[in-house]
Structure 1
Amino acid sequence: MSDVLGFLKVIVQRGINLAIRDAITSDPYVVIHIGQQKLKTHVIKRNCNPVWNEVLIFSIKDPNVSINLAVYDKDTFTLDDQMGMAEIDLKPYIAALKMAKGLHNLPNNCALKRIQPNQNNCLANESSIIWENGKITQDMRIKLKNVECGELLIQLDWNETPNCKGLESEGTYARFNHIYIYICVQHIPDHGLGHPARPEGSPEI
């Protein structure tokens, strides 16, 4: 495991207004690829606003990989219908993890970085990378592509075990007179659609 930097939990929380692929509804599930790894959620029957709250765990060896996800409608006698896809750039999240190396006792709900939606990142609204209780997570509302409608709420959560190589610090905090100085924006959590809460009972590595 010496070449593994760490483990990325992708928490697939819920879908919003997903496309109809059967007569009046769909049976959606989510497939996620990171590098050569592929994991998927369970199927939720007859629901275009499904709640999964499912944790998919990937080992990360290359910090430059992207998350590729797709939503499908489960069919019994034909090929599963696609209900949209998205590619998620991990670089902002990885950069925030490196920036926070060596920092301790930050205030909870501290926003280390905010990412604005643009034509390249599939975000439906602003996404914040948050420090809370020593953990750094990113909540994302993803607008699916190549489909008439549909969004996904997911959360990223990084974990390292003693056997992991770990991410190297980029030295993005300054030392001045033996005091570490950092800038932190206080984040007020929004438990609506924009910034969903972490699902309870997420397994720990």
Structure 2
Amino acid sequence: MTAPSPARLTDRKRAAILEAAAAEFRQAGYDATSMDRVAASAGVSKRTVYNHFPSKEVLFAHILQQLLERGVASPELAYRSDRPLRPQLFELVQQKLQLLHDEDFIDLVRVAIAAVIPSPERAQEMFARIGDKEEGLTVWIRAAAADGRLNTQDPLFASMLLQGMIKGFAFWPQITLGQPMLTQAQRSQVADTVTDMFLGYFASA
């Protein structure tokens, strides 16, 4: 039997570290989680953890980035000038709602908020590491506006309005009030209503 290559072993260790760290952060919180705990949980040495991630802040930001990337529009959901606006936007809103339906993501956001509330400096450092890729909804709105099909001079502002409507139902109540995740029927209702309200205001005549 052929032994795994060094690169594959490295990838496995990295994956084990990320999985163990996500579980530790969710269970113990940000401050109580140490690189020692992550190493023990992953079954690797502390040195191996630091070889992959130079600090706890970098490790946590990488986990959040992985989760956030699930909501970045995939190529098939990029703006298309040959398709009607509504089904495109509806799919994007559903994609966002699906990300926000991820309990791992919600739990880790709670951890992040608890970690950064006492320290604005930590918040800036942590979220600066998440990356500068523009969010999928903003990219789509920018493209549709450039094509003359959405009437906005500020795609980022329009995107923030849209995401605010979504998160008012499927993010902040769960984060701050401990409300249950939306059911499939509730997500469909939110997606339908938010899509129609957004296009009712921003769609070009």
TM over 0.5: no
Give TM-score, length-normalised by structure 1.
0.26
- Structure with greater contact order relative to length (CA < 8 Å, sep ≥ 6): 1
Give TM-score, length-normalised by structure 2.
0.26
1 or 2, which has the higher strand percentage? 1
